[in-house]
Amino acid sequence: MSNEVATANPFGQSVGASRTAGNAVAQADQHRAVAEVQAAMMIARINPRDPVRAMDSILNACTRPTLANAAIYEYAKGGQSVTGPSIRLAEAIAQQWGNIHFGFREMSRGLDFDGVTYSEIEAFAWDMETGTKRPLQFRVRHWIDTKGGGRKCRDEREIYELTANMAQRRVRSCLLAVIPGDVTEAAVAQCNVTMRASADTSPEAMKKMVEAFAQFGVTKDQIEKRIQRRLDAIQPAQVVSLKSVYASLRDGMSVASDWFDEIESGAGEKKVSAAEALKAKAKQGEPAEIEHQPAADPIPQQTRQAEREPVQQGRNPPPASASQQSAEQWIPTDEELAEIAARERAEAGGQSEQRQAAPAGRRQRGQMSLD
DSSP state of 298: P
**182 vs 1, higher pLDDT:** 182
- Residue 88's pLDDT is 92
pLDDT digits (tens, 9 = 90+) for 133-150: 999 999 999 998 887 888
- Residue 336's pLDDT is 74
Q: Does residue 225 belong to any structural domain of this protein?
A: no
Same domain, 60 and 194: yes
- Residue 346's pLDDT is 73
pLDDT digits (tens, 9 = 90+) for 73-113: 877 777 677 788 999 999 999 999 999 999 999 999 999 88
pLDDT band at 267 (very low <50, low <70, confident <90, very high): very low
- Residue 5's pLDDT is 58
**Domain membership of residue 319 as a residue range:** 287-370
Distances (CA, A) of 105 to 36, 138, 171, 204, 251: 15, 11, 11, 41, 19
- Class of residue 271 by CB neighbours under 10 A (exposed 0-12, middle 13-18, buried 19+): exposed
pLDDT band at 358 (very low <50, low <70, confident <90, very high): very low
Which of the residue ranges 129-143, 217-231, 245-259 has the most confident prediction, judged by mean pLDDT? Answer: 129-143
Q: Does residue 247 belong to any structural domain of this protein?
A: no
**179 vs 13, higher pLDDT:** 179
63-68 contacts: CB < 8 A, separation 24 or more?
63/190, 63/194, 64/194, 65/194, 65/195, 65/198, 67/92, 67/191, 68/190, 68/191, 68/192, 68/194, 68/195, 68/198
Tell me the one-letter amino acid at 367: Q
- Residue 230's pLDDT is 87
Distances (CA, A) of 152 to 28, 255, 263: 34, 21, 33
Q: Does residue 319 belong to any structural domain of this protein?
A: yes
Per-residue pLDDT, averaged over 212-240, amounts to 87
Q: Does residue 301 belong to any structural domain of this protein?
A: yes
Identify the domain boundary among 173, 198, 223: 198
- Residue 327's pLDDT is 44
Identify the domain boundary among 183, 198, 213: 198
Residue 255 has pLDDT above 90, yes or no: no
Return the ∠ at Cα 289 (arms to 287 and 295), rounded to 5°.
85
Q: What one-character-per-residue DSSP string does 172-206 give? A: HHHHHHHS-HHHHHHHHHHHHHHHHHT---SHHHH
pLDDT digits (tens, 9 = 90+) for 295-306: 444 444 544 454
Element containing residue 289 per DSSP (H, E): helix 265-292
Identify the domain boundary among 166, 182, 198: 198
Residue 236 has pLDDT above 90, yes or no: no
Q: Does residue 277 belong to any structural domain of this protein?
A: no
- Residue 202's pLDDT is 86
Residue 168 has pLDDT above 80, yes or no: yes
Percent of the chain with pLDDT over 90: 29
Longest Cα–Cα distance in the chain: 174
Q: Does residue 242 belong to any structural domain of this protein?
A: no
Residue 368 has pLDDT above 50, yes or no: no
Contact partners, residue 366, CB within 8 Å, separation at least 6 = 299, 300, 302, 303, 306, 307
Q: Does residue 318 belong to any structural domain of this protein?
A: yes
Residue 339 has pLDDT above 60, yes or no: yes
